[in-house]
Structure 1
Amino acid sequence: MALQIPIPVQFGAVFPAGAFATRVEAVADFEASKSGQKVQARDKATGLPMWVVTVSDPDPLARDSSVRIKIPASDMPVLPDELPGLPFRPVEFVGLAVTPYVNNSGRVAYSLRADGLRPVGGVAKQTSAKTAA
């Protein structure tokens, strides 16, 4: 059996020690981008522009301390404010899902996506800044 759809997961199951967002950027569509013209990727299911949030995972048992989570949204997701005196932005992801796949090395890997993000204990913020896709 090969699952090729996102599997819903709870935020705490993926990030038991929390997550700190460091940046948000547009996902490039490498096939459509030509001659220096960057084209933003779109979600296959919704047609919305794709964004990627880079997250630092502080869990000492995590295999990777940096993770990228894709979010389909019409506008760029807005990160919460940094913690006073620190460059950290604690976040939670809404509608988090994982998709397993086999990577180029023949090993099972996982991609993460979410419906949106919010400050820890806050209300979901999916979008704010308009961008040219």
Structure 2
Amino acid sequence: MGMPRKIKIEFGEVFPYGVFAVSEVTQVRDFERSTRERPVYAIDEETGLSVWSVDVMDGDRDARKADRQVSIKILAKQQPVLPPQPQGMPFTPVEFEGMTATPYIAENGNRPRLAWSFKAMAVRAPKSAQAPKAA
């Protein structure tokens, strides 16, 4: 079958209402190679870049509870820096560039469900605070 394992996507296709960073950017550990005494950090096989992670909350009020908060993996040489948090806001609005989505079966809970793993090449402040386009 000619389907790619990773699907290139645009940020607005997945998150038309935007997302908000709810954690700091942290380096992802390689759990297979790490020990308690000697942490080893994950390197992306395709790019050779370090893998970083940030938790975000979807701005879509109708998002299912299981899909409301996701971790986005960012591939970068150095730790990505989140944009400044706007004054008076509890979270930092962000957008991602160079995104891919990889489907997988999440087997936590009573029944397996389709889930998505997201990777990006960069994180930045949103371009504008526009309302999403009508479908």
Secondary structure of the structure 2 residue equivalent to 1:69: strand
Give how far 1:103 is off: 2.8
In structure 1, which of residues 80, 83, 87 is the aligned counterpart of residue 86 of structure 2?
Answer: 83
Give how far 1:101 is off: 1.6
Measured against aligned partners, the alpha-carbon deviations of 1:71-113 in whole angstroms (never above 9, x if no partner) come to 1111011000011022221111101111112233543221001
Gaps of 5+ in 2: 129-135
Distance 1:4 1:76, change over 3 A: same
Give how far 1:14 is off: 0.8
1:5 equivalent in structure 2? 5
Taking the aligned partners of 2:127 and 2:59, their CA distance within structure 1 comes to: 18
1:39 equivalent in structure 2? 40
Give how far 1:39 is off: 1.2
4+ residue runs of structure 1 moved beyond 4 angstroms? 1-4
1:101 equivalent in structure 2? 104
Q: Percent identity?
A: 45
Give how far 1:54 is off: 0.9
Q: How is 1:5-84 mapped onto 2 (pairs within 5 angstroms)?
A: 5-22=5-22, 23-63=24-64, 64-84=67-87
Amino acid at match of 2:102: T
Amino acid at match of 2:87: P
CA RMSD of aligned residues (A): 1.9
Farther-moved stretch of structure 1 (74-83 vs 36-45):
36-45
Taking the aligned partners of 1:75 and 1:41, their CA distance within structure 2 comes to: 13
Secondary structure of the structure 1 residue equivalent to 2:101: strand
Measured against aligned partners, the alpha-carbon deviations of 1:8-52 in whole angstroms (never above 9, x if no partner) come to 111111111111112211111001111332211110101111001
Amino acid at match of 1:16: P
Give how far 1:57 is off: 1.0
2:126 equivalent in structure 1? 120
